[in-house]
Amino acid sequence: MSQETSQEASQPPTDPTAGDLSRQTVTAKDGRTLCFAEWGDPAGLPVFTLHGTPGGRLNRHPDPAKYAEAGARVITYDRAGYGRSSRNPGRAVVDCVSDVATIADALGIERFAVTGGSGGGPHSLAVAARLPDRVLRARCVVGVAPYQAEGLDFFAGMDPNNVREFGWALAGEDTLVRELERELAETAARVAVDPATMLSDDWEIDEVDRAMMARADVGRVMQESMADLARGGVWGWVDDDLAFTRPWGFDLDEIRVPVEVRYGAKDVLVPAAHGAWLGTHVPGARVIVEEGEGHLGNPDRVLEMMSWLVHGD
């Protein structure tokens, strides 16, 4: 694998201190390009933050200076097929592990924490399972459970729009590509005008999530990340959805590092039952149920959220 990174010229990111660290690339062993970004304190504890579905490396806290305050060096990256990272057709959830390791090696990082939200949750668990000598701590936030999880009704309590999307994935790649291309175009057009409409009115989400999307600081990040997502196309989104309907490629029983499973009681995008199932099946997991929260969480709690990842407390 390549141990060297390149920095591409880009438009200034929201964080004025980040410079072109918001668009770095490294070449994986198989020749694919991986695009990643760094935020926070360069001397802080490295924390890989794995984005949701859909998403990308520009999904981050609205004020990345908070990462530095928490003592964190946050690394985000476009999963294969998203943004500026090459596609890896047919990938499984576990295939992200080598990509995270490639980026860590290129940056000279040996030990790190990892966290992932929503679609990033299973990917953070994969990294925890397969890199036990490198992962200090891992967190899964509102993460989706395995599609064929024993004892879980996968779709119970899930918004009908997400149920429909999984139906497209189960129908096959051709159907999924066609439908997600339409979804992406419509969503990008809405968000460019008003980020609070990222999820249209027909989504049955709780008001706590509606209020979060209406925040100006959150909206700026959503507009920037959605524009980059639209530029890159649907392939990362397609491959995530397909991967979630198939075996993940690793067993949760493999995990030996400290893991926190956190989920919102009001979440209808990834229902609370998914978090409860993961909390029961991830060995030794610390489980935190956010009774007043939905899917999006509260960025005002970033210092609290980073404290355990950085310090273990």
SS3 81: coil
Average pLDDT over the chain reads: 94
Above 80 in pLDDT, residue 18? no
What pLDDT band is residue 313 in, cutting at 50, 70 and 90?
Answer: confident
Tens-digit pLDDT profile for residues 286-310? 999 999 999 999 999 999 999 999 9
Assign residue 117 a region: left if phi > 0, alpha if psi is -120 to 50, beta otherwise? beta
- Report CA-CA distances (Å) from 169 to 53, 116, 228: 13, 22, 23
Distance of CA 161 to the CA centre of its chain: 19
Percentage of the chain exceeding pLDDT 70: 94
Predicted local confidence at residue 20, as pLDDT: 73
What pLDDT band is residue 9 in, cutting at 50, 70 and 90?
Answer: very low
| Average pLDDT estimate for 26-34 | 97
Tens-digit pLDDT profile for residues 78-102? 999 999 999 999 999 999 999 999 9
SS3 287: strand
Distance CA 103, CA 230 (A): 24
Above 60 in pLDDT, residue 5? no
Distance CA 111, CA 11 (A): 31
Tens-digit pLDDT profile for residues 168-181? 999 999 999 999 99
- Measured between alpha carbons, how far apart are the two ends of the chain, in Å? 35
Tens-digit pLDDT profile for residues 196-243? 999 999 999 999 999 999 999 999 999 999 999 999 999 999 999 999
Above 70 in pLDDT, residue 4? no
SS3 34: strand
Distance CA 116, CA 138 (A): 8
Predicted local confidence at residue 15, as pLDDT: 38
Above 60 in pLDDT, residue 11? no
Give the global pTM: 0.93
Above 70 in pLDDT, residue 104? yes
| Average pLDDT estimate for 123-148 | 98
Contact 288, 261 (CB under 8 A): yes
What pLDDT band is residue 42 in, cutting at 50, 70 and 90?
Answer: very high
Predicted local confidence at residue 67, as pLDDT: 98
Tens-digit pLDDT profile for residues 71-80? 999 999 999 9
| Average pLDDT estimate for 51-67 | 97
The radius of gyration computed from the CA coordinates of the chain, to the nearest angstrom, equals 18
Query: Domains (ranges, CATH) in the chain?
Result: 6-311 (3.40.50.1820)
Secondary structure in 3-state letters for 204-239 = CCCHHHHHHHCCHHHHHHHHHHHHHHHHHCCHHHHH
Above 90 in pLDDT, residue 7? no
